[in-house]
Structure formats: structure tokens, C-alpha cells
Structure 1
Amino acid sequence: MTSSNTDSLLPLDALALPELPSWFPLAWGWWAAFASVIAVFAAIVFYLRWKRKRLAPKKTALLLIQREKPAAALELVRQAALCYFPREQIAHLTGKEWYEFLDSQVDQPLFSTNSDLWQNLLYSKQPVDNHEELVQHCYQWVEQALPPKKRGA
């Protein structure tokens, strides 16, 4: 009986399976994902380069001010300010106007209170008692005021 059942079966071929899908060409979603990753990476690189370039004058001024005398430190403050503010706005400022501009960029005034001392220091060769304090004021100004922050009206 078993032999008659096996004889009646039709000869069948092996299963014919379709080919597996290949990885290439990739679907558009994968290309969009790759492009997004590359765009984010490029944006981060460009932002970091822009930020480093923008902060370069500030970092240089902070390094140099620590080694200078007050008159030279104040000159470095002016050079650093010229890197960030329009030349037309600050190049013509001298004396009390200059010190008022400096104080307007920080929360606590550093220069107007000592404006007479600064003026004497710039034009005399006499040593100053509070040499370190004046240099510290210049350092503090560069650290707080640069790059300029947008102030609300």
C-alpha cells in the first residue's frame, strides 16, 4: 500500500526562491540619512572654526595683557576693541569718552572712576602704586566685554 502512494506522486522540482535583495542601490531614505549626518557634521565643523576665529583676538589680548604695564595694557584693550566694534564707533574716542565707552560695555565701571589716574599714567613715566590693579581692570574688561553682547533696549 505504501508503494502505490509513492508511485502516484508527481515528480516535483525543488523550490525556486527569488534572489535576496541587494544592499545596492540603497533606498532614498538611506541616502537622506547619510546626507543629514554629513550636513550636521559639516555644520558643527564650520561653527567651531567660526567660533575659534571670532575669539582669537580676545584670547591673544588676554595672554598679552598679563605681561604688560598699564599703558600698554590699555593700548591692547583698544586694539582688541577695534577687532570687535566698528572703527567709526571707537577710533575717535579719547580721554573720558573712551573710558565711558569701556564702562558702557561691562556691568561694573572699571575705568571712569580712575580716569584721571589713567590719563596721568599714559603721559608720564612715573611708576604707579596700583600697577597690578590697573592691568587687572584691562584683563577684566577684555574678558567680560568681548565679543560684544547684544544688549536689550
Structure 2
Amino acid sequence: MTTTSDSSLLPLKAMQLPDAPSWLPLAWGWWASAGVILVVILSVILIIKLRKKRMAPKKAALRLIQNENRPAAAIELVRQAALCYFPREEIAQLTGAGWYQFLDQQIASPLFVNNADEWQAVLYSKTPVSNSQQLIEHCYQWVDEALPPKKRSKNIG
């Protein structure tokens, strides 16, 4: 009879597992994801900076008009703010009724054509006008609503 002995078993070494996979070097998909995230973050920062730069003249004009107590100075600030956003060739030549019509075309409700006589009195006479605070508020409202100008479709006709 045969006896079983331990010698009949194969001499096996202990199991040795491979090292756990490392995060580095990253696969190309991770690099692509990181690149997309970086581009999105940089784009958002650029858009915010451009918007801030575009809105700077409007904010300055609103701040200055709010501190102004003379309508003639307020309408001059409106003209300077308009020059920041509209072509100089279009704005610089406008005076009187043409200027007031331009201002009213940029907003929904007219504020300047209806008060053209008061504006002319404020600009060219030394006597104070009774509704000067209202005229200054109209300037503030125009800058707040009209600037920066909205893109409008051109009428082809």
C-alpha cells in the first residue's frame, strides 16, 4: 500500500500580487478633461473681465450723474457716455432736436423730446428751472436703460 506524504504536493511559493495601479501617469482622457475645464475657467474669467470693461463707462456716468445737481452738466455726462458706446461720427454732430430724438430712440419711453424746451432753457439761460431734479433723473434713467446699446436688426427696405 502506498502512503500519502507531503512530498507529493508541488512546492508552491506564496502568491505575489502585482502592485496596485498608479494614478500617474494619467490617461489621455484625464488630460483632455483637465484641458477642457481649464479652457472653460479661462473663458469665464475673460468674459467677466470684458463685461466689466464694457460696463465701466456706464457705471462712471451713473455715479457722476447721481452726484450732479445741474441738468446742463448731467446732459453733458450723457453725451460723454454716449460717445463711449456709439460711433463718434454719429453722436458728435447731433444738437438740439436731433440730439433729443437720438436719446429717445435708444429707450422705450421718450424723455427728452417732450422736455426739449426745458432742456434748451437749462442749457442756454442762467435762470434755474423748477424741474431740474427731474431732468437729472431723466439723464440717469437714460444712461441706465440705453447703455450699453442693444444690438438691433437693421430694417432692409
Q: Same fold (TM over 0.5)?
A: yes
- Which segments of structure 1 move beyond 3 Å, counting only runs of 4 or more? none
Q: Percent identity?
A: 59
Query: Which amino acid in structure 1 is aligned with residue 107 of structure 2?
Result: V
Structure 2: any 5+ residue segments left out of the alignment? none
Residue aligning to 1:20: 20
**Given residue 81 of structure 1, which amino acid in structure 2 is its aligned partner?**
A
> 1:125 is matched with which residue?
126
What is residue 62 of structure 1 aligned with on the other side?
Answer: 62
**Structure 2 CA distance for aligned equivalents of residues 120 and 19 of structure 1:** 89
Unpaired runs of 5+ residues, structure 1, are none
List aligned pairs for 1:70-109, cutoff 5 A. Answer: 70-109=71-110
Q: Aligned-pair RMSD on alpha carbons?
A: 1.5
Counterparts of 2:10 and 2:115 in 1: how far apart (Å)?
Answer: 110
Asked if 1:9 corresponds to 2:43, the answer is no
Question: 1:137 — aligned with what?
Answer: 138
Paired AA for residue 106 in structure 1: I
**Offset at 1:6?**
2.3
> How far apart, in 2, do the equivalents of 1:29 and 1:13 lie?
39
In structure 1, C-alpha distance between the alignment counterparts of 2:91 and 2:133, rounded to whole Å = 26
Question: Aligned with 2:115: secondary structure?
Answer: helix
The aligned amino acid for 1:47 is: I
TM-score, scaled relative to structure 2: 0.92
Looking at structure 2, the residues matched to 89 and 127 of structure 1 have their Cα atoms a distance apart, in angstroms, of: 31
Corresponding pairs, count: 152
TM-score after normalising by structure 1? 0.94
What SS does the aligned partner of 1:12 have?
Answer: coil
Per-residue displacement from partner, 1:34-64 (whole Å, max 9, x unpaired)? 1111111101100100000000000010011
* Counterpart secondary structure, 1:148: coil
**1:4 alignment partner, SS class:** coil
